[in-house]
Chains A and B, each alone.
Chain A
Amino acid sequence: MDTIEYLTGQFHEFPQDSIDRGLDILRQDAFNAFNTMGIPGMKHEEWKYTRINKLFNTDYSLSADPADHSVSTSDLGPYRLPGNKDANELFFINGRFAFDLSVIQSAGLQVLPISTAYNGEHRDVIAENLSHSSRYLKDGINALNTAFLQHGVFIQVGRGLILEHPVYIYNITDARTANIFSQPRSLVNINEGAQVQMVETFITFGMNESFTNQVMEVVVQQDAVVEYYKIQNDASHTNQVSTTHFRQTAKSYVHTVTISLNGGIVRNNLNMVMDAEHCESHLYGLYFQQGKSHIDNHTIVDNAMPNCLSNEFYKGILDGNSSGVFNGKIFVQRDAQKTNAYQSNKNVLLSEEASVNTKPQLEIFADDVKCSHGCTVGRLDEEGLFYLRSRGISEKIARSLLLHGFVVDILDKIRLAVIRNYADQLISERLEFDIS
């Protein structure tokens, strides 16, 4: 059966929320939008270089029953991130939040099904923020996730709480017996003065096809501090569109690092909506791809209000037949005077076949702003290589040292030491490089 047809059938099968129509209307509108816009193809300006429509030729199943997943704690063992004993661990299995597997250690951290939260005390924040990302991502793939958001969860960190345990979020696809299309969905509310470190990763079990279409929306309230790290190192037969949408509703601080090391087609949408004065955000990224991997980092920084600072720095290494896309949009709206917005993207191509498309897009409607952007695409520094080799270091090790040196400043932006070291280890293993 055609995947689109299948999804349509699934959409109509799921029960509607009987208590309140709010979420149903959102879903129905999103489904209509999906039907109108369809899966974005090459003609869609934001999807020119990343072709996901062909992925819909596969027969996928959507996981029907959240309690019915076949993943056990022991399956998870080898995939859990280092430092997990000290972490809150949240598991999504095939797009459904697994309450049974998840471990919450911090009293101030709460996870609720989205409809429970909406019909309970969180209605206002949900009504205001759920699907906020669709204002920025006008395509059928974002709408498709929203159409199924009844499986989503509401995550919140209580007012003034400084979480001493980081929050690890695992998006697991169990493709051991079937091709899986999964759509994890969450709305995270970081309350006033709260501080949290989040780490998100994607893991696929089994060799069947998997396509993850994930959306996480994060509301950052007054004086909150958020660190968010995304580690993508899934198998090369897996594909994903991963959307992380931050909205800073008052003076607050967001620091993100996106590390992308493997996967078939990986498309990241990282949005930073600075909806209040004196917000600060940092967006760092590192992609290191080989084989036929395709990595696309689309970022949007929307400076809507005055006196905000955003700083964006992505680096990439592309080897083999891999391809990369960096698209960095910065909006500085008319009222956003005294905005500081910086952006830079640097790439090293290691093979003739590897390629990258890098495109800064600045749309500035205010006049008293400081903005800068720059991008480079180059090869490994031959002078540096000769310098190291002239000291007796073999070409192979010299290359590794140079490449490791190229990425280490981004790794150092990960302030959670176990995760920083883990990412470093993954990269060093790829470089066959001894970090000791």
Chain B
Amino acid sequence: MLKIQNLQAGIEGRTILKGINLEIKAGEVHAIMGPNGSGKSTLASVIAGKTDYEVTEGRIEFMGKDLLDMLPEKRAGEGLFLGFQYPVEIPGLSTTNFIKTAVNELRKYRGEEPLDAVAFLRLMKEKMALMDIQQPLLSRSLNEGFSGGEKKRNEIFQMAMLQPKLAILDETDSGLDIDAIRIVANGVNKLRSKDNAVLLITHYQRLLDFIIPDFVHVLYNGRIVKSGTKELALELELKGYDFIKNDLNIAETV
């Protein structure tokens, strides 16, 4: 589904991603962990098409298509979704209108008719129940004045509404209380199928208790330096990133 080869990217002459290789197949859940500033959000942004970053090397393929040539909205049309680490506040645009526009833009991209008001409402109600989101929040301006947890829950709600093929969730668990984590995890698990895939970016093993990943990767200083199964996350939780750094130092001195 997603194939990243030797991806190098940076900003203002500074290289942040220094050769990322990652393959995600349909049906899989991957988790990326790594210390602050290692490049996790940058990787997510580059995949989603943020033009602030300059890609200097490598390629990304999504569903067999070259992703790097596509506009962000086209990537979404192809089934990509990014749950933002810091969702953006949009004054004057209600969350409902925003989601409705997004749903119908995606349908248009796929050559489908727009959802009528009734069908849209039905879909909303279903996903609202799933994500335990109340109407007043959706009537407010998008993310404006939302609490940290509300913003994250709203990201997952959007994911549930848009039904992407690949969801990249950038620290969607940060700032969530334990009940909210369960709800978010439930939302993600509902999306899981043999045709979909999820890339979780997280600092905490806790989320991975609810969403069991097939693979765990450690991103360190712009590179994936270690990959493994869910046990790797447990090990990181116990030992911190020092043992990775030590491993790397040993590797570099050998």
Contacts and interface: CB of A to CB of B under 8 A. Distances in A.
Nearest to A402: B90
A393 B88 contact: no
A60 to B, nearest CB: 42
B90 A395 contact: no
A325 B76 CA distance: 40
Interface residues of A, number: 23
B102 interface: yes
Contacts of B102: 388, 391-393
Interface string B86-104: 0111111100011001100
A162 B49 CA distance: 57
A394 B70 CA distance: 12
A387 B88 contact: yes
A389 B90 contact: no
B71 interface: yes
Contact of A389 (B76, B91, B92): B76
A383 B88 contact: yes
A395 B76 CA distance: 12
Determine which residue in A389, A390, A402 has the highest number of CB atoms from chain B within 10 A of its CB, and name it: A390
Determine which residue in A383, A389, A391, A407 has the highest number of CB atoms from chain B within 10 A of its CB, and name it: A391
Given A384-B88, A390-B82, A405 B162 contact: no
Interface string A392-405: 11110110011011
A25 to B, nearest CB: 51
A402 B106 contact: no
A384 B142 CA distance: 10
A393 B158 CA distance: 13
A394 B105 contact: yes
Determine which residue in B51, B92, B158 has the highest number of CB atoms from chain A within 10 A of its CB, and name it: B92
Interface string A375-391: 00000010110111111
B206 interface: no
Contact of A388 (B82, B90, B109): B90
Interface in A10-42: none
Contacts of A383: 88
B90 A397 contact: no
Contacts of B89: 384
A151 to B, nearest CB: 43
A395 B71 contact: yes
Interface in B63-99: 71-73, 75-77, 81-82, 84, 87-93, 97-98
A406 interface: yes
Given A405-B141, A406-B92, A392 B98 contact: no
Q: In terms of DSSP, what is the predominant structure of the interface of chain A?
A: helix
Contacts of A384: 88-90
A389 B101 contact: no
A398 B109 CA distance: 15
Contact of B72 (A390, A401, A405, A407): A390
B87 A401 contact: no
Contacts of B82: 390
Interface in B82-135: 82, 84, 87-93, 97-98, 101-102, 105-106, 109
Contacts of B73: 389-395, 398
B50 interface: yes
A406 B84 CA distance: 22
Contacts of B93: 401-402, 404-405
Contacts of B51: 386
Contact of A405 (B50, B92, B109): B92
B33 interface: no
Given A392-B102, A393-B73, 12 more contacts: A386-B48, A386-B50, A388-B90, A390-B72, A390-B73, A391-B76, A391-B102, A391-B158, A395-B73, A397-B105, A401-B90, A405-B91
Interface of A: 381, 383-384, 386-395, 397-398, 401-402, 404-409
21 contacts: A386-B48, A386-B49, A386-B88, A387-B87, A389-B49, A389-B76, A390-B73, A390-B76, A391-B162, A392-B73, A392-B77, A392-B105, A393-B101, A393-B102, A394-B73, A395-B71, A395-B73, A401-B97, A402-B90, A402-B93, A404-B92
The 7 closest A-B pairs by CB, nearest first: A405-B92, A392-B76, A391-B102, A387-B88, A405-B93, A408-B92, A389-B72
Interface of B: 48-51, 71-73, 75-77, 81-82, 84, 87-93, 97-98, 101-102, 105-106, 109, 141, 158, 162
